[in-house]
Every structure is written in C-alpha cells, then in structure tokens.
Amino acid sequence: MPVAVVTDSTAYLPPELVRAHQLTVVPLTVVLNGAEGREGVETFPDDAARALSGRRVSASTSRPAPEQFAQVYRQQLAAGANGVLSVHLSAELSGTVEAARLAAAEFGDRVAVVDSRSTGMGLGFPALAAAAAAAEGADLSGVRQAAVDAIARTTIFFYVDTLEFLRRGGRINAAEALLGTALSVKPIMHMPDGTIVLRDKVRTASRGMARLVDLAVEAAGDAEVDLAVHHLAAPQRAEQLIAALTERLGARLHDTYVTEAGAVVAAHAGPGLACVVVHRRPS
C-alpha cells in the first residue's frame, strides 16, 4: 500500500480532490460566539460568516490534540500503509504542526511531518503533490520531498476588508492593525515564510482585487500554473478573480479551484476575504 497522506481542515481542498487522492483530513476546532465545533464537520463557512457579521464577535481556534493525530496514524498503518506523511498549516499560525510532531514521535521513522508554511491551498497543493507521489509508488522520503518541493513553488496572497480580525487573533501586531485603520486602507497580505505580512495597501476593494491579480501573475512568472481562489461570503470577488486570471494567464493556466474559506481562517480574516494561491507546476 502506498504512503498515506494526512492534512488538516485549513487546506480547504474541494471534497472531490480529497476523495480522489485518498487524503485524510484532521479538523481543527473553532469557537464562534461560544459555539464550538470541528471545522468542516460541525462548523461551516456560513456559520462563520453569520457569526462574524454581528456587532459582538468572539472567535477563537484550537489545534487538534496530539492523540487525534496518533489515532489517524495508527489507523493508516494498521490498514497497511508503508508510512504516513502529515502536512499542515504554518507553525507560525497554529500549534497543529507541533501536535502532529508530538504524535509522530510514537511511530519512529514511519511518520513524517511537514510544515507547509502556509494555509488554504498553500497547504492543499503540497498535500496533493505528496499524494500524487505516493500514488506513483514513492517511499516516505520521496513523498515528503514532493511536498517540500511543492511548498517552494506555491505562493499565497490575500485581501481582507479590515485587519481587526487578524489583530484580535494575534496574527499581526497592533501597530500594523492601527496603521490600516488610521489610513483607511485595504490591506493585501502574503506569507513569505509562514508568517502573515502586509504586502500592499490599496484604497478600495476593487483596487484590491486588481492588485491580487497583478501579484498572482507576477508570482506565476513564465511557469505553467494551477490556481486556487478562496473567499468568505464574497463569491462575486472569487468569480472576478478567476475571470481576470484566466484572461491574463491564458494557456499557462491549468487547473483552477474555488472554495469558500472555512471557519478557522474566517475567524482570523473576517467576511470579505479574497485569496489567490499560485502553484507553479514543475518544469
């Protein structure tokens, strides 16, 4: 049996890809205004959008417990997997990778854990690359390397209507949030090394969408690419981004995916989120 690939719910992979590539998804937990649920199991994007649109908002997230990962690893190995590759969202954003590594210690060299240094399909594309390598018969080392290589070829940019949710969740500092509020700017963020960093400032949402397109095209360079677009309660923004990027990238654009961001990322980004993930295919 090939190496099993495990990821977490913040990859926001389309369900058909999860099934087709036989991925195992471990959910994070989110608490929205006192209501706790596992992302993608009990709490969904609509729940987050409703909760975050209220006047009084309380939102927090928590990593899976190490034992949750250990149970998944045991199940995969007991089912005959040669090994397990577990790839997760940035350690700068969550303790999920740490929990996975604590669990992996029980299994020696049969389980490897990779930090994607990203989230959304910035995590999803490396998980898919790992699964493809596993399907081709690669050993655990080869599957891990496929994920690492995909991480290096994947870039994420996202627009938020306000920095307030990122500030509340501790994902950016208060000074950055105050700057955005004081200047009434719309921020575009990126994750150059697993941390969320302000990339650009624009004055309007429409300019934000246009800038996302420019940045994505720049990140694509001359490569053939796959794209993912995430949004929260902003399907029209996702449609606008896909249309513009399809026109700009032309024949170099292969697969495109559009999914709504789940509750964990939504809790820290807020409604109006628009995100583009560029995955450069290997030459």
CA–CA gap between residue 141 and residue 127 (Å, rounded)? 14
Percent of the chain having pLDDT more than 70?
Answer: 91
In a domain, 36, yes or no: no
Contact 81, 115 (CB under 8 A): no
The pLDDT value recorded for residue 184 is 65
Amino acid type, 90: S
- Report residue 230's pLDDT band, with 50, 70 and 90 as the boundaries: very high
Determine the average pLDDT of the residues in 66-91.
Answer: 97
Is the domain of 118 the same as that of 9? yes
What is the tens place of the pLDDT at every residue in 151-164? 999 999 999 887 76
Bigger pLDDT: 1 vs 201: 201
Give, for 216, the enclosing helix (H) or strand (E): helix 205-220
Q: Which of 102, 68, 104, 98 is nearest to 85 (CA)?
A: 104
CA–CA gap between residue 66 and residue 117 (Å, rounded)? 20
Contact 230, 257 (CB under 8 A): no
The domain in which residue 148 lies consists of: 4-28+63-152
Contact 282, 153 (CB under 8 A): yes
Mean pLDDT of the chain, nearest integer: 90
The pLDDT value recorded for residue 1 is 66
CATH number of the domain that residue 120 is part of? 3.40.50.10170
The pLDDT value recorded for residue 171 is 47
Largest CA distance in the chain: 57
Is the domain of 105 the same as that of 178? no
- 152, 180, 212 - which closes a domain: 152
Is the domain of 143 the same as that of 273? no
In a domain, 55, yes or no: no
Decide if pLDDT at 234 tops 50. Answer: yes
Is the domain of 159 the same as that of 173? yes
Is the domain of 261 the same as that of 225? yes
In a domain, 141, yes or no: yes
The pLDDT value recorded for residue 170 is 52
Is the domain of 161 the same as that of 262? yes
In a domain, 87, yes or no: yes
Decide if pLDDT at 52 tops 80. Answer: no
Antiparallel, parallel or unpaired: β 24-26 and 154-159: unpaired
The pLDDT value recorded for residue 168 is 58
In a domain, 275, yes or no: yes
- 152, 182, 211 - which closes a domain: 152
Bigger pLDDT: 201 vs 116: 116
In a domain, 67, yes or no: yes
In a domain, 35, yes or no: no
Determine the average pLDDT of the residues in 86-113.
Answer: 97
Is the domain of 73 the same as that of 113? yes
Is the domain of 143 the same as that of 244? no
The pLDDT value recorded for residue 181 is 52
Determine the average pLDDT of the residues in 114-133.
Answer: 97
Decide if pLDDT at 177 tops 50. Answer: no
Determine the average pLDDT of the residues in 40-61.
Answer: 80
Residue ranges in 37-189 assigned as alpha helix (H): 45-52, 66-78, 96-104, 121-135, 140-152, 164-168, 174-182
Is the domain of 159 the same as that of 221? yes
CA–CA gap between residue 16 and residue 261 (Å, rounded)? 16
What is the tens place of the pLDDT at every residue in 22-36? 999 999 999 888 888
CA–CA gap between residue 175 and residue 181 (Å, rounded)? 10
In a domain, 33, yes or no: no
> Which strands form 186-190's sheet, in the order they lie side by side?
197-202, 186-190, 154-159, 274-280, 225-231, 253-260
What's the domain count of the chain?
2
CA–CA gap between residue 24 and residue 4 (Å, rounded)? 8
Is the domain of 189 the same as that of 127? no
Bigger pLDDT: 58 vs 26: 26
Is the domain of 106 the same as that of 246? no
Antiparallel, parallel or unpaired: β 274-280 and 154-159: antiparallel
- φ and ψ of 230, to 5 deg: -115, 150
Lowest mean pLDDT among 44-58, 72-86, 89-103, 164-178: 164-178
CATH number of the domain that residue 160 is part of? 3.30.1180.10
Is the domain of 270 the same as that of 170? yes
- 132, 152, 172 - which closes a domain: 152
CA–CA gap between residue 117 and residue 190 (Å, rounded)? 11
